[in-house]
A and B are shown apart, each in its own frame.
Chain A
Amino acid sequence: MTHRTIVLAFAALILALPRGGLAVGNYSVSKKVVEGHTTYHLLDAQRKMDFGIVPDIGNFAYQFKVNGKDVLITPESFTAYLDKHWFGWGIPFLAPYANRIDQDFYYFQGKKYLLNDALGNVLRVPPTKLPLHGLLVYDPRWEVVKTGGNDAEGAFITSRMEFYKYPDLMAQFPFAQVYEVTYRLKDGKLECTTKVSNVGKSPLPVHFGYHPYFHPDGPREAWTVGIGAQKHWLVNKALIPSGETEPTDKFLAGASTSFTLGKQFVDDGFSDFQRDTKGLGHVWTKGQTQKIEVVYGKEFDYAIVYAPLDNTLICIEPQTGPTNAFNLEHEGKFHGLIVLEPGKTFQATYWIIPRGF
């Protein structure tokens, strides 16, 4: 390397370094305090994208703005989010179980584990009052371990939760594990990668989901939806899958390609994605001009689509395995439970691609 190239390389390096939280390049990460919580924002200056995350409230993705418009439904406030225990905002992370468990206990490898209400971290919501959405939605103990912004990597943030170090979590789910979640803004897409490491010496049942809540433009009745999955899961009155499935288009004509939401209530699980050549599955919703696509990496083999009638929103949920996967597996109604061996790491990625904002 000549002296001149060294100088040039050094100059390039200096230019690429972030200054005071603002990168010279297109991508950057900024930190700001909102309602007393440190938030991190992944920024794409060129596309006017701003994705906000609050690590100390369950690593909650609380906003995603494109051209000043909301791709995600932004919470009224963090206080409201924490007080109301409301699901309909941002992207909560649901683990170590997503959606419902049909009992106050669950089985794994023939052993029965109890959920303990006395610890105050088992979420339940009407009407079923079943344990719901895992233990981490409001957890303050996430730590940011890495952030960065550059052309090669986009803008990213990695947060970690050392689950096994907290007795209130381990009492409910005594499988030693560490979560690492990376959100990345790059090329106009929001990428979310979850890593679960089994740091124990016993197999770990893996189940988690994300609930990104969307509200595209135009009237709800006119929103179109495509669910690129072939099977629809039947549920009982408590919204627990029975293990039985039917073709998606039998459930809702055209649903696997495109249908108009109209007055249709949807709170349903789907599997067996039609995957593209990269192994990716696609579920999308489109309003007047705004379209949001959720792209499912192959580890997310289950989609729940939630579009209630009493609230103008649609949630397209990437989930690993069906709701109540542990007990379904125990009852022989599901055979695909993800089991992570000691020392191994499970990784799953999904993407949110907003267009027309």
Chain B
Amino acid sequence: MAFYSVRKKEVEGHLTYHLLDPSRKMDFGLVPDIGNFGYEFKVNGKDALIPAPSFQTYLEAHRTSCGNPFLAPWANRIDRDYYYFQGKKYLLNEELGNLRRDQFKQAIHGLLCFESRWRVVKKGTSPQTGAFVTSRLEFHKYPDLAAQFPFAATYEVTHLMKDGQLEVTTEVANTGRSALPLMMAYHPYFRPDGPRDEWTLSLHARTHWLLNAKLVATGETEPARKFLPNARKFVLGKTFLDDEFSGLERDARGLARISIQGRTQKVEVVYGPEFDVAVVYAPLDKELICIEPQTGPTNCFNLHHDGKYPGLMVLDPGKTFKASFWIVPTGF
């Protein structure tokens, strides 16, 4: 019998919320005022997510390589300092100080990674519902955000601990009177036990997206099996991965699964149908793997404008978009 609970505690001056499942010894920690960041996920005292070294380090380094940051209103890169939607050109404004840049100076990872203005609006527990916390960000109410992405939107993210899984549900409500282009992702960073070279990736995807020299999807694709023939059971070895996949194979409920297996520890990321793109990032200079649920390919606004991607998600006024994914740790 599980006795789920939600506990608040202050860590380094930040209020954190912990979703607890004592029967499975699970403890997921969220810090709303740092981008609603899932900063740790412990199972039997072991880390299912790579924990943030400290909040101070995380904020100062301004790099995402731990926990589970939320990336919106765009994930990964935009290839120019502007983007198009429905034929109109919108500018990104460097001067507002909230753009992040990649090694090629491209705008990357949206605006919300370190955002302090998330508010917890609901939390609760019961044996039936598990333990959950819901955070909200009224995006359009902040001029530094609206200047970069002027589409009226409210984000609500619910983290739910239940049955040994962490469920993350994102709702985007279009509170404007104009269509809203949708893109987002999460970057959960994992480090299962055993040496990196022996980690086994399991990826069931049909399509691999080709990238240009600046790591932006070109719109061209190839069969995933051509890129990674043994993706269903792929031992990482010395392979560097920073690649984008779609055409995920789904079960009868529309769910797709990508997992990384260490010696005994396995983490599976379950993709709800709305997360139609998976980016897998496994660098050689750091021992980690990031299995990223993403809606649409990187740079999808401009790809769509350039006629290279027809599937951009567009949310009509008054509508709410909802997407879930799950992190399922076993063997911890």
- A interface vs B, CB < 8 Å? 108, 111-114, 116, 118-120, 141, 162, 164-171, 174-176, 199-202, 342
Report whether B177 and A118 are in contact in the complex, using a CB–CB cutoff of 8 Å. Answer: no
Q: Does B42 contact A (CB under 8 A)?
A: no
Q: Given A176-B141, A202-B141, A202-B143, answer yes or no on A112-B91 (Cβ-Cβ < 8 Å).
A: no
Q: Does B90 contact A (CB under 8 A)?
A: yes
Residues of B near A111 (CB, < 8 A) are 95-97, 143-144
Report whether B146 and A119 are in contact in the complex, using a CB–CB cutoff of 8 Å. Answer: no
Residues of B near A168 (CB, < 8 A) are 88, 150, 178
Q: Does B2 contact A (CB under 8 A)?
A: no
Residues of A near B151 (CB, < 8 A) are 167, 170
A52 to B140, CA, bound (A): 34
A166 to B140, CA, bound (A): 11
Residues of B near A171 (CB, < 8 A) are 90-91, 147, 150
Q: Does B138 contact A (CB under 8 A)?
A: yes
In the assembled complex, how far is the CB of residue A143 from the closest CB belonging to chain B, in whole angstroms? 10
A112: which of B88, B90, B93, B177 is its contact (CB, 8 Å)?
A: B93
Q: Does B211 contact A (CB under 8 A)?
A: no
A341 to B61, CA, bound (A): 33
Report whether B177 and A141 are in contact in the complex, using a CB–CB cutoff of 8 Å. Answer: yes
Q: Does B176 contact A (CB under 8 A)?
A: yes
Residues of B near A170 (CB, < 8 A) are 140, 146-147, 150-152
Give B60-96 as 1s and 0s: 1 = Cβ < 8 Å from A's Cβ atoms.
0000000000000000000000100100111101011
A-B contact pairs, 20 of them (CB 8 A): A111-B97, A111-B144, A113-B143, A164-B140, A166-B176, A166-B177, A167-B90, A167-B150, A167-B151, A170-B140, A170-B147, A174-B144, A174-B147, A176-B143, A200-B140, A200-B141, A200-B143, A201-B117, A202-B143, A202-B144
- B interface vs A, CB < 8 Å? 82, 85, 88-91, 93, 95-97, 117, 138, 140-147, 150-152, 175-178, 317
Report whether A176 and B140 are in contact in the complex, using a CB–CB cutoff of 8 Å. Answer: yes
A164 to B317, CA, bound (A): 13
B152: which of A108, A164, A175 is its contact (CB, 8 Å)?
A: A164
Report whether A119 and B95 are in contact in the complex, using a CB–CB cutoff of 8 Å. Answer: no
Q: Which are the 10 A-B pairs with shortest beta-carbon distances? A: A170-B150, A174-B146, A118-B89, A174-B147, A165-B177, A171-B150, A112-B95, A165-B176, A200-B141, A201-B141
Chain B CB count within 10 A is highest, among A112, A167, A342, for: A167
Report whether A167 and B176 are in contact in the complex, using a CB–CB cutoff of 8 Å. Answer: yes
Report whether A112 and B141 are in contact in the complex, using a CB–CB cutoff of 8 Å. Answer: no
Residues of A near B152 (CB, < 8 A) are 164-165, 167, 170, 176
A103 to B274, CA, bound (A): 43
Report whether A119 and B88 are in contact in the complex, using a CB–CB cutoff of 8 Å. Answer: yes
Beyond A108-B143, A118-B89, A201-B141, 9 additional pairs, beta carbon < 8 A: A111-B97, A113-B147, A118-B82, A141-B177, A164-B146, A165-B175, A171-B91, A200-B141, A200-B143
